[in-house]
Structure 1
């Protein structure tokens, strides 16, 4: 009898020990970090950030905080969440080196082709050739290389930001936030992809 009475107590102690730590993706902080990064790449003459209409935003949940039901609440046992909201840092040497390369390449090779309508931002946070006819034949090889290099650096920075913040699983959410920010910070007249088609800002 005594052994059976002890079992509910042991079960309650086991449930109490099963408190999980949920670290949610800090979407607002990620947006701030993305804006700082993107504006430095595009330059001082970038347009003030404007929200992208909901229908024009890249697919995905936007990296927002998902609703979470914790069944332990029914037993009076709460889920412990990380104290405070984690910041998204973009101040590591690796990230800043990538940012510097991307900014230099944007100024020297890409900006004039965005202005001409030849290039645009894609829905996945990269750059694409929208209209090759707007690029002189003699420049096309160099522009294609610059686009490829810019996209390689973009992919690297999304991964590096996630890793630097000790959450490599955030990479896809970081990319989604940046994809929206490139479009939001783009100058009037530049092109971007939405739903598989090109639109002019």
Structure 2
């Protein structure tokens, strides 16, 4: 009977560990914060002050009176949950990422007049699109705009792939792209153009 209970306990712990791992498989919140840092850096906007989660400082320290009374299964479950919770983060540091960020920051300064003219906007998938070429009067500037948009979109794809690679999860690339797509638009200043999910152009 005791042997059966022990096996059942380990099966239950295994199922619980599996559920925890799935729930934090893609760290969506951490990815969004990382995207905001990168995008605001590219845009030349000061980073937001990162605050601790509400109530974090108010969490009381564990009461030692109950530590010795915790059942074995509680201790085992905590050991399984803590590594999974710690994995709910995303790494955006690598030489390749730093290089791409630098390229995009420099290019953004060249794109800025085209954003302000309404010639270029942000598509729903996070890529740049030429919205109104008529807003650019000079032919050399039109050629330059096409080059800038092509280079920017290429670097954005490279950035998403590199973030996924650095984190050891190439299958995250689509989710990273979707996260950045939302944040490129949300962090854009007033007056810029963007596409909604239906493909309609709107001005912030």
Structure 1 and Structure 2 fold alike (TM over 0.5): yes
TM-score by length of 1: 0.72
How is 1:132-143 mapped onto 2 (pairs within 5 angstroms)?
Answer: 132-135=133-136, 136-143=138-145
CA–CA distance in structure 1, aligned partners of residues 85 and 142 of structure 2: 51
Gaps of 5+ in 1: 1-7, 49-77
Runs of 4 or more off by more than 2 Å in structure 1? 11-23, 83-86
1:192 aligned counterpart, secondary structure? strand
2:115 aligned residue: 114
Q: Deviations over 1:89-128 (max 9, x none)?
A: 21211101001001101112x1100000000011111111
Query: What's the RMSD between the two structures over aligned residues?
Result: 2.8
Closer/same/farther in 2, CA of residues 193 and 84 from structure 1, 3 Å limit: same
Aligned twin of 2:44: 43
1:146 CA drift (Å): 0.7
Distance in 2 (CA, whole Å) between partners of 1:165 and 1:180 is: 21
Match of 1:200 among 181, 198, 203: 203
Q: Which runs of 5+ in 2 are unaligned?
A: 49-76
SS of alignment partner, residue 89 of structure 2: coil
**124-133 vs 84-93, which moves further:** 84-93
Q: Give the match for residue 186 of structure 1.
A: 188
1:13 positional shift: 9.4
> Structure 1 CA distance, aligned partners of 2:10 and 2:115?
60
Q: Could you tell me the TM-score, scaled by structure 2's length?
A: 0.71
Q: Please show how residues 71-150 of structure 1 align to structure 2 within 5 Å.
A: 82-108=84-110, 110-135=111-136, 136-150=138-152
What is the aligned residue count?
A: 166
Q: Which has the higher helix share?
A: 2
Higher relative CO (CA 8 A, sep ≥ 6), structure 1 or 2? 1
Shift of 1:85: 4.1
1:3: which partner in 2? Answer: none
